[in-house]
Amino acid sequence: MSYTKEEIHQIALNQREFFLTNKTLDVKFRIEQLKKLKKAIIDYQDALTEALHEDLGRSEAEAYFCDIGDTVMEINEYIKGVKKWNKPEHHFSGLAAFPSMTTKVYKMPYGVTLIISPFNFPVLLSLGVLAASIAGGNTAMLKMSSKSKKTTEVLKELIDKTFPKEYVIAIDGGHDVADFCLEERVDKIFYTGSPKVAKHVMELASRNLTPVALELGGETGNWCIVRKDANLKDAARKIAFFKICNSGQVCININQVAVAKEIAPIFIEELKNAIIKQVGENAHLNDEYPKLITHAAYLKIEEEAKKYQDRIVFGGKGDENKDKYDPTIIYPVDINEEIVNHEIFGPLLPIVEYNDDEIDQLLDVIARREHGLALYIFTKNKKWAKKVMRSQQYGGGCINEVCLHLMVKGVPFNGTGHSGMGAYHGIWGFREFTHPSTVLFGKTHFNLSLREHPYTPQKKKLFSKFLK
């Protein structure tokens, strides 16, 4: 359906009224809702799998691994942990507050939350974030992508049958509906998508001083570095898997690979072999290989590939009718070329050569560009790799692995700068959707009058001693 501005306004008002009943403050209530959400996903698993195949060409295994199963695991973590996380923190007030020695920090929900989810992982990045909002004790307006149409349709039905609209509602529609939502006086906004749209989100949020969490891909994409001492077969296998996954439409995917010049030809052969082994030489003919979300997305990838057609060493083919474009290796690419200065969000993989003994210069170039959401390093030199991970600016990453940091429980998933702000997953999601409120418990007896007028010389002397 298409929502009007007035209808979105009424939805926000209804959610505000529901929040003010204080029902969501009860942790038992939150756990019950999380369990309902989990059951609904399991009940709708087949429908979601079919929808993900229709929208993104996902195989059943990839649909479960990347979206459905991940979301259930995320919800399980909230069910298990929210009772503990929500307990007030107890603090000693300090002698300055004598005799009021007790202070507590309450974890308070924001209120009405707005979650704007993308098309690429339409289950995980909508319901996974929703679970964090529910765990925090909020209501939620869930604005879903208009591009992943079938999945949005199924998710809307799932939400409508599971929750009352004044508590959680799934909203479909285009950019106009998203703007209607953003113009409302909500209490927290969580947006996943591109840096360009994120600026628009922040601009509208600023009108109401609404706090915002952003998970973005990064303006200049995520780097992967393969040093000359790396296990090339292992690196190639993992990089191939990741570029194949969702046809490269992953916010933490590798945008470009910097490969030591000394081993570049060998690495590229290993990468070709790994792609062929996983999806064949003509991936667009493989039913398991995902498609691009829209025909416009396909044409965009095809057009960019044509600019570098003289340097395509693998791939470069596709099926326009199915919107499938092969994993495509482009080599060699200069570090300053256009393709490595923006987020590709597709199956093209530029290879940038560097001299291994000039690795510091490469890192300096990366550091001066916009921060990526992820950084991946392949090397046997763990000491060096750890040093890089402690000094570069990025959201998260892996050493001798790809993407699996996203799967680790109890750790944050976040970005920095043009790759986002805020964090979520598990306790970090609970923290993102709550704000800490400090409350001191005052005593009515034995209160000292030192803080009160008049400030006599004797009091000033006592102040001086106390400060020292």
For residues 34 and 227, what is the distance between their CA atoms, to the nearest angstrom? 44
Tokens encoding 433: 């959707």
Residues β-bridged to residue 421: 214
User: Which of 94, 74, 397, 433 minimizes the C-alpha distance to 225?
Assistant: 397
Q: Decide if 251 is catalytic.
A: yes
Question: Choosing from 215, 219, 270, 353, which is the catalytic residue?
Answer: 215
User: Which of 76, 81, 52 minimizes the C-alpha distance to 64?
Assistant: 52
Q: List the pLDDT tens digit at each of the 468 positions of the chain.
A: 689 999 999 999 999 999 999 999 999 999 999 999 999 999 999 999 999 999 999 999 999 999 999 999 999 999 999 999 999 999 999 877 888 999 999 999 999 999 999 999 999 999 999 999 999 999 999 999 999 999 999 999 999 999 999 999 999 999 999 999 999 999 999 999 999 999 999 999 999 999 999 999 888 999 999 999 999 999 999 999 999 999 999 999 999 999 999 999 999 999 999 999 999 999 999 999 999 999 999 999 999 999 999 999 999 999 999 999 999 999 999 999 999 999 999 999 999 999 999 999 999 999 999 999 999 999 999 999 999 999 999 999 999 999 999 999 999 999 999 999 999 999 999 999 999 999 999 998 888 777 788 888 887 887 777 766
State phi, psi for 406 to the nearest 5 degrees: -65, -25
For residues 204 and 210, what is the distance between their CA atoms, to the nearest angstrom? 9
For residues 1 and 32, what is the distance between their CA atoms, to the nearest angstrom? 29
Q: Decide if 215 is catalytic.
A: yes
Sequence-distant (6+) residues with CB within 8 A of 16 are 111, 112, 139
The full set of domains in the chain, from first to last, is: 5-216+433-437 (3.40.605.10), 222-410 (3.40.309.10)
Tokens 């998203």 correspond to: 178
CB atoms within 10 A of CB 56: 27
Question: Choosing from 245, 251, 398, 403, which is the catalytic residue?
Answer: 251
> Is 145:129 a contact under the CB 8 Å cutoff?
no
